[in-house]
Structure 1
Amino acid sequence: MKLLSVVVPAYNEKLTIRVVIEELVKVPNILEIVVVNDGSTDGTREILEQLASEYSELEVIHHLHNKGKTAALKTGFQATRGDIVIVQDADLEYSPQEIQNVIEPILDNKADVVYGSRFLVRKAARVLYFSHYMANKFLTFLSDVFTNVNITDVETCYKAFRGDIIRNMIIKSKGFGFEIEVTAKVAKLKCRIYEVPISYYGRTYEEGKKIGLKDGIQAIWYIIYFNLFCSLKQSFYSLPSQKSLAKTI
């Protein structure tokens, strides 16, 4: 049953993008892989064009200039057709082999949204920056205070959605703001949110990690703005009915 759309934002990921795509095509239930090349200048574009000729599941969309992860996701979501949509980073910090476990609660009609948590139960996780760990914990705590949902890992890449929810969401943030914005908006919609444990194979800055202090400061503002100053009607083009949220796939 082909019902899964995977959206992959990619910026200068020539070293890993082929492996990511080759792993994604093996995922059960895969309908399509939508890669948004966000203005890469390192040869990622050429690799993606070659991959598109090899795999019918792959659709590649190019941004002429780098617009940031959130803009790439926004473009990708609107190109999807699947009943379930999940985000996959192009850098192999997250293993596509775990996608099936992430979407399982949606397949079982228990959830509308699922987050893959790096902290819910510690699986394989590379030991990296303590400052990043503390920043993530702080942002997750602050987000939970405003949304009143007990998520353990708001900044995780692996977020899976019912397709009608994410395609109807009005996304306004920039840079890495998507993680905070989407959490505020699915909480406003009162979605059934689940978490499942995942592994994490992080990168150092020398290996290509891109998020920094500026993004953390911006996230604090987004937590305040999207929870206090953005209404439910301002969050979605049209509101998925509770009936559609609960229907069986």
Structure 2
Amino acid sequence: MSLNKLTILIPCYNEEGTLERIVHEVLAANTLGLEKEVIIIDDGSNDRSYEIAQDISKKNSNVKIIHSKKNLGKGSAIKKALPESTGDIILIQDADLEYSPKDFPRLMRPIVDKEADVVFGSRFIGGEMHRVLYFWHSLGNKILTFLSNVFTNLNLTDIETCYKLFRSKYIKEINLEESRFGFEPEIVAKVSKLYPPIKIFEVGVSYKGRTYHQGKKITWKDGVRAIYCIVKYNLFR
């Protein structure tokens, strides 16, 4: 089946300082000739994010908006956007500028070349540029990835990565349950269980992490929830 369109999902919560720039970078990105569809999911922001998204959408016919009056989390935002997605490939892009759309071509290439059905970006392979930040975040991610791999029998290096790409039919057939950051280990567990087995690739990406002062939102509580989700969705779903 030919691939004609890429849908980029951008969950957004209180990102008035970065939203316009990230959408500009997404719209300018090389998508290997595929048409772009951009869906911004404003997850109950209490700053100007929704107004900025509306202004962007008015100027760009291929940008849609989904608005939630209440903050429900990244997983909830993705679940709301999937039924509205019309692309052959679906890509998840955070709104905070930590991940660069310049990486789109290398992320898309395995799917476009029919080598992969799912591609995960990794901050820990490939020799790309990385901002040096929190040791405990890095260690925590490696522990979570190791635990996930034990259950899934995959050899991923970064399950908490923002960049996850799917042939749309695969992510749409998965029943997503997690509303917040637990979505990340949940989707890895459920992708690993698809039958017949699908082809999963990992591609190195650049990363410019934010500090908490700059707006980083994930905390140690999300790490605890991730452990729970790894066990739950690998053993009991």
TM-score (normalizing by structure 2): 0.95
Match of 1:138 in 2: 143
Q: Are 1:221 and 2:225 counterparts?
A: no
Match of 1:10 in 2: 12
Could you tell me how far apart the structure 2 residues matched to 1:167 and 1:59 are? 19
Match of 2:85 in 1: 80
Root-mean-square deviation over aligned CA pairs: 1.0
Match of 1:184 in 2: 189
Mapping for residues 93-172 of structure 1, pairs under 5 Å: 93-172=98-177
Please list every run of 5 or more consecutive structure 2 residues that lacks an aligned counterpart in the other structure.
Answer: none
Q: Which amino acid aligns with 2:228?
A: W
Q: Secondary structure at the match of 2:28?
A: coil
TM-score (normalizing by structure 1): 0.90
Give the drift of 1:191: 1.6
Please list every run of 5 or more consecutive structure 1 residues that lacks an aligned counterpart in the other structure.
Answer: 231-249
Structure 1 segments (4+ residues) deviating >6 Å: none
Superposed CA deviations along residues 70-91 of structure 1, whole A, max 9, x for unmatched, are 1001111221011100000000
Q: Are 1:51 and 2:56 counterparts?
A: yes
Superposed CA deviations along residues 17-46 of structure 1, whole A, max 9, x for unmatched, are 001111111232243001100001110011
Match of 1:197 in 2: 204
Q: Is the 8 A contact 1:25 1:57 kept in 2?
A: no
Q: Number of aligned residue pairs: give it.
A: 230
Give the drift of 1:2: 4.0
Q: Are 1:33 and 2:35 counterparts?
A: no
Could you tell me how far apart the structure 2 residues matched to 1:30 and 1:122 are? 29
Give the drift of 1:101: 1.0
Could you tell me how far apart the structure 1 residues matched to 2:140 and 2:117 are? 27
Identity %: 46
